[in-house]
């Protein structure tokens, strides 16, 4: 005879799952957010953070780079943006940094972040037009053990 749950028990399990799912999701997001390491600030006062650095293989590493602009900033991609996040591949031998994908964030009138733009190519990544953070991020990522 197959095992069958009563309607009450089945409903109870569904209720527990519905209640716990958001709690677990918030916990995972919070732990990922705690992984950011502040590595310094640009001359303009923009905060530079790095997360999820991969092990170095053949001189290559990847990491998430986040820039929190001190003031909403117009960039070549548009704006004004309050934050930039990019998954970046660093070549620690040649010194190049290539974003795999980038997200530019803007804030609405209440201060809530809303995604403004996503791009896959950025020839100005980390250079003066975007806050001049490229060298700082590359040096930090490539020096990690």
Cβ atoms of residues 69 and 83 within 8 Å: yes
pLDDT score of 17: 52
Q: Tell me: the pLDDT tens digits for 58-115?
A: 989 999 999 998 888 887 777 788 888 989 999 999 988 888 777 877 776 676 777 7
Number of folded domains that form the chain? 2
Q: Locate 8 and state its tokens.
A: 């009450």
Based on the fold, state whether residues 68 and 110 are members of the same structural domain.
Answer: yes
State if pTM tops 0.85.
Answer: no
33 versus 135: the higher-pLDDT residue is 135
Based on the fold, state whether residues 42 and 90 are members of the same structural domain.
Answer: yes
pLDDT score of 1: 52
78-91, strands of its sheet edge to edge? 37-41, 47-51, 60-75, 78-91, 96-107, 113-119
First vs last C-alpha separation in the chain: 58
- In the block, which residue shows the tokens 């929190």? 68
Based on the fold, state whether residues 45 and 17 are members of the same structural domain.
Answer: no
How many residues does the structure list for the chain? Answer: 145
Based on the fold, state whether residues 43 and 114 are members of the same structural domain.
Answer: yes
Based on the fold, state whether residues 22 and 79 are members of the same structural domain.
Answer: no
pLDDT at 39 over 90: yes
- Domain hosting 13: range is 1-34
Based on the fold, state whether residues 2 and 63 are members of the same structural domain.
Answer: no
């Amino acid at each position: 005879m197959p095992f069958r749950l009563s309607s009450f028990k089945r409903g109870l399990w569904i209720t527990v799952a519905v209640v716990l799912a958001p709690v677990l999701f918030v916990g995972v997001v919070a732990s990922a957010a705690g992984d950011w390491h502040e590595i310094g600030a640009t001359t303009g006062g923009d905060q530079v953070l790095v997360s999820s650095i991969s092990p170095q293989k053949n001189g290559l590493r990847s990491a998430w780079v986040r820039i929190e602009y001190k003031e909403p900033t117009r960039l070549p991609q548009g704006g004004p943006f309050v934050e930039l996040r990019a998954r970046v591949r660093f070549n620690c031998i040649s010194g190049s940094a290539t974003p795999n994908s980038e997200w530019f964030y803007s804030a609405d009138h209440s201060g809530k972040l809303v995604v403004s733009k996503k791009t896959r190519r950025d020839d100005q990544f980390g250079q003066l037009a975007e806050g001049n953070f490229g060298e700082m991020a590359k040096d930090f990522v490539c020096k990690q053990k």
